[in-house]
């Protein structure tokens, strides 16, 4: 890196929020998770320490690297860019700025005695040239390019897919899109589904903080059967993209295809509101969620999750979800009464950074 052009690296405060968000908005790899709204949600919802590094030149942000410290009660913790979502990463105008941010992040991790993980939506040359980082996931995002309106989108689907959506409506299912007023119904389905999957659920407080932080750029969807919520999801909007970070369905209603109606409703909304892309979120190629998203026409975009270690043999694959220990923990969690899972789960979930 040419020292003559080294930027000034600062940790942003609230006075810098507008400059930060404008930088994210102008960058092609920017997304909802990299905005200060995600920072506010994580800090206020879970109390984690956020360190958002900005590279400045002449009082202008020319690079950004958002970091959140996830530190369990026992353990050194990890600096993650970013937790609870698919990606964070370095958004810089050139390699010099990116390398300056990376160097600062490594210094912070050493100072905090923490590991460092930087998750990017596509390969990052500044990180890949550093031999102490390993790309530690096999997952991908599923992205669908949207046409000008929902009518064209509907016409592009195969008849089998359209019939599944129509059948859900014929069976009496209906959907509501809204905001905070739907969060109780959302959490009712979401928390139960997560318990059934064997995973601790995010807290209801966290979901409310997300909605508060994102304002009009967050929307909930709930599918009902006889006024009872059976499928739910949340989308976040940023620039030209609508992203769905969370969706859940009650398994006993799967035969009615409520998830098909839910996703179509989100896609219909996004297309008619002028969004150009729909991000279905993270999947593992070959698994069920991958096939579900692919049927809508979504295409895979590999994720790059880089974990730093001076001893690469200490790495575990972040994309491996089938370890015996994990499977045992899932089975035990599935047996918990829902009330217990909902009370205990959020206290654990805040330290699970994926």
- Do 46 and 193 fall within a single domain? no
Q: What pLDDT is attached to residue 118?
A: 97
Task: Say whether pLDDT at 312 is over 70.
Answer: no
Q: What pLDDT is attached to residue 75?
A: 83
C-alpha to C-alpha distance for 76 and 95, rounded to whole angstroms: 30
Task: Say whether pLDDT at 342 is over 70.
Answer: yes
How many structural domains compose the chain?
2
- Do 157 and 135 fall within a single domain? no
- Do 145 and 134 fall within a single domain? no
Task: Say whether pLDDT at 3 is over 70.
Answer: no
Q: What pLDDT is attached to residue 324?
A: 82
Q: What pLDDT is attached to residue 2?
A: 52
Pick 5 or 24 by higher pLDDT: 24
Task: Say whether pLDDT at 104 is over 80.
Answer: yes
* pTM tops 0.85: yes
- Asked if 89 and 124 touch (Cβ cutoff 8 Å), the reply is yes
Task: Say whether pLDDT at 121 is over 70.
Answer: yes
Q: Domain holding 126: CATH number?
A: 3.40.630.30
Is residue 336, in this structure, part of any structural domain at all? no
- Do 178 and 251 fall within a single domain? yes
What's the chain's average pLDDT? 93
- Do 291 and 313 fall within a single domain? no
- Do 122 and 164 fall within a single domain? no
Task: Say whether pLDDT at 91 is over 60.
Answer: yes
- Do 182 and 36 fall within a single domain? no
Is residue 332, in this structure, part of any structural domain at all? no
- Do 294 and 311 fall within a single domain? no
Q: What pLDDT is attached to residue 313?
A: 42
Is residue 219, in this structure, part of any structural domain at all? yes
Is residue 352, in this structure, part of any structural domain at all? no
- Do 19 and 108 fall within a single domain? yes
Is residue 147, in this structure, part of any structural domain at all? yes
Give the residue numbers spanning the domain of 287: 141-302
- Do 154 and 284 fall within a single domain? yes
Q: What pLDDT is attached to residue 311?
A: 53
Q: What pLDDT is attached to residue 4?
A: 54
The edge-to-edge listing of strands for the beta sheet with 299-302 is: 173-178, 218-225, 228-238, 241-249, 277-283, 140-145, 299-302
Is residue 289, in this structure, part of any structural domain at all? yes
Residues of the chain with pLDDT > 70, as a percent, come to: 95
- Do 179 and 251 fall within a single domain? yes
Task: Say whether pLDDT at 316 is over 90.
Answer: no
Residues 132-169: tens digit of each pLDDT? 999 889 999 999 999 999 999 999 999 999 999 999 99
Mean pLDDT lowest among 115-119, 269-273, 326-330: 326-330
- Do 150 and 297 fall within a single domain? yes
Residues of the chain with pLDDT > 90, as a percent, come to: 89
Q: What pLDDT is attached to residue 136?
A: 85
Is residue 313, in this structure, part of any structural domain at all? yes
Is residue 26, in this structure, part of any structural domain at all? yes
């Amino acid at each position: 890196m040419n020292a003559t052009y080294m930027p000034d690296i600062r940790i942003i405060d609230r006075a810098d929020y507008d400059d930060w968000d404008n930088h994210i908005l102008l960058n092609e790899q920017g997304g909802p998770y990299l905005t200060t709204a995600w920072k506010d949600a994580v800090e206020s919802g879970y109390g984690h320490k956020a360190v958002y590094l900005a590279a400045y030149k002449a009082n202008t942000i020319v690079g950004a690297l958002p970091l959140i410290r996830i530190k369990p009660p026992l353990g050194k913790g990890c600096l993650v860019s970013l937790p609870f979502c698919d990606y964070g990463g370095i958004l810089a105008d050139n390699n010099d700025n990116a390398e300056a941010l990376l160097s600062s992040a490594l210094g912070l991790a050493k100072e905090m005695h923490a590991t460092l993980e930087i998750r990017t939506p596509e390969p990052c040359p500044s990180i890949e040239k550093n031999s102490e980082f390993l790309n530690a996931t096999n997952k991908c995002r599923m992205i669908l390019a949207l046409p000008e309106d929902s009518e064209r989108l509907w016409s592009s689907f195969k008849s089998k897919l359209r019939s599944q959506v129509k059948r859900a409506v014929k069976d009496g299912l209906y959907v509501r899109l809204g905001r905070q007023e739907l969060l109780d119904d959302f959490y009712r389905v979401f928390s139960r589904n997560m318990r059934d999957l064997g995973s601790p659920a995010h807290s209801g407080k966290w979901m409310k903080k997300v909605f508060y932080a994102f304002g009009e750029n967050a929307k909930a969807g709930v599918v009902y059967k006889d006024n009872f919520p059976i499928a739910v999801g949340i989308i976040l909007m940023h620039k030209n993209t609508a992203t769905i970070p969370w969706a859940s369905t009650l398994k006993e209603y799967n035969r009615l295809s409520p998830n098909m109606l839910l996703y179509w409703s989100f896609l219909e909304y996004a297309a008619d509101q002028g969004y150009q892309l729909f991000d279905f979120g993270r999947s593992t190629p070959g698994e069920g969620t991958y096939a579900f998203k692919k049927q809508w026409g979504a295409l895979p975009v590999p994720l790059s999750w880089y974990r730093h270690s001076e001893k690469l043999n200490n790495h575990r694959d972040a994309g491996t979800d089938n370890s015996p220990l994990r499977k045992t923990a899932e089975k035990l969690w599935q047996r918990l009464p829902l009330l217990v899972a909902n009370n205990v789960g959020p206290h654990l979930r805040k330290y699970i950074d994926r």
